[in-house]
Each structure stands twice: as structure tokens, then as C-alpha cells.
Amino acid sequence: MTDPNRPADFPGWSAFFGAGAGESGILLLLDFDGTLSEIVENPDAAELRPGNAQTLDKLSRKPRLTVGIVSGRSLQDVADRIALSNLIYAGNHGMEIKGPGIRYLHPEVAAAVPGLQEIRSRVSTALAGIPGVQVEDKTLTLTVHYRRAPARYHEEVESIVRSVAHPETSTDQYRITYAKAAIEVRPAVDWHKGRALEFIRSRLAARAYTIYIGDDRTDEDAFEAAQAAGGCGIFVGPADAPSCARYRLESPAAVSAVLADLSLR
């Protein structure tokens, strides 16, 4: 039996098509950072790997294939970085979605935006004296990055954000989450990449075979949702990393190769 926490190496598209998958179309959803782009020290510098733009464009023009990007970045950010018009873009972990035939903004999230702006202005003021801190406004979420702040400030940054945002996060409308060298304030809604996948499926491709490719912890919800719908998840990363995805690819370079192969079919 296959260990459920250790995805099998991706066997290639022939195995899929051989099993009859994709006869009712394919919904192909992909994460951006670490999947379509290499991970880079400065997130502002992330871009599509060479060749991916042409491949994605080709894939998105195939008649029975729907292609979308599901990212933690804001919708505008990820759409600008990819800049292809036939794709669906889901930003802020799917809280905002836009593309041909689809447009979505989570209603409770929309209502939380003015409060987030208010928190952002207080947080920026409170952190002004600490070097190397970046307050990123993703409109629907607020991220404070401290990777470039001296290590002695890291705990202080987190505690300042927690206390400054406390009036809001003590209600059930907002919550704090932690990422790599970052702390986030976001609307407390039951929504994630898996829900975004289900929403896109229901609107555009209810019968399609769904494939989700990603490298991050936040992609696990989407792997689960794809597999619950009879499709599959493909985890990008080393063989010893646990994931609920059925298959695995080693690196963004391997993702590029597999996508290019699909585009030739």
C-alpha cells in the first residue's frame, strides 16, 4: 500500500489519459511561487520560469482545458506577474477570483476591508522605528514581513502587531496567522485554496478532471479538494516532505517540463 503521506513520483500524462481521465475536460490549477516560479529571497523579484508563459498560454487555448492560478499573493499581483488573458486568477488564497466567465469576492472579506485599512495604518505607525520591516497591503489581507529586520526584533514585531490589531482580532471578524518571517492579519472566514478550487469547479468545470499543482502547506487544502472531486494533487518538493497529494514533482523545473509535455498533447 502507498504511504498516504508520501506522494508517488508523477508517472506522466499517459497514465492519466490511459485511465480515461480528462474525457470530460481538464481543470488545471496551479500555485505560483515555488511552482511556476523559483523561490527567490525577495518575493518582489519572483517571475515565471523561462518558457512557462508560452506553455500556459498554449494550454489555456486548448478547447477542453481550463487553466487557473491560485496564489497567496493578491489577485492583482499574481495577474500582473503572469499577464495572460485566458487564465483564471485566484488571489489571497482564493478570496478573490477573476477570469473568463468568473468573478468572485468573498462577501465577508469585502466587509472586512475598511477595518484592515485601519489596522494597517496603526501597524505602520507602531513599526516605524524598526529597521527592515515591510508592511504589505494585499487589500484583503495585511502582511508584515520581517525577514530583513535584525533577528533581535523579530519577536517584538510580532508582539507589536498582535497588540495593535487586538481590538479587531479580539472580535471574530479578524485573525492573526503566521508565515515564514511574516505575520498576517486577515478576515476570519472559512475559506482557503481548497474552497477556491471547489468554487471554480462548480462555476466553470463541474465535470472536469481536476489537477492541482503546488508546493506549500496552504496547497494541501487544494490537493484534498481536487482528490475529493475525483482528480489529483501534485506536490512540488523533495521526496521526504509529507503531503496528502497523490503525486509529486521534484522542482519548478520539473513542473515546467510536465506542463510543456501536456501542451503538446
Could you give the string, one character per residue 201-220, with x where binding to Mg ion holds by CB under 5 A and - elsewhere?
--------------xx----
Report the sign of the C-alpha dihedral through residues 108, 68, 239, 73, in that order: negative
Q: Tell me: does residue 77 bind Mg ion (CB under 5 A).
A: no
Active-site residue identified among 31, 33, 219, 221: 31
Structure-block grid coordinates of residue 71? 496564489
**Min CB(31)–Mg ion separation in Å:** 4
184 contacts 178 by C-beta, under 8 angstroms: yes
Among 7, 22, 34, 187, binds Mg ion (CB under 5 A): 34
186 contacts 192 by C-beta, under 8 angstroms: no
What string of DSSP letters covers 158-187?
A: HHHHHHHTHHHHTSSSEEEEEETTEEEEEE
How many residues bind Mg ion, per CB under 5 A?
5
**Min CB(73)–Mg ion separation in Å:** 10
- Residue 31: active-site member: yes
Q: Tell me: does residue 168 bind Mg ion (CB under 5 A).
A: no
Q: Tell me: does residue 33 bind Mg ion (CB under 5 A).
A: yes
180: number of Cβ within 10 Å:
8
Beta bridge partners of 33: 37
Listed ranges 25-33, 77-85, 151-159, 255-263: which one lies at the site for Mg ion (CB under 5 A): 25-33
Residues that bind Mg ion (CB under 5 A): 31, 33-34, 215-216
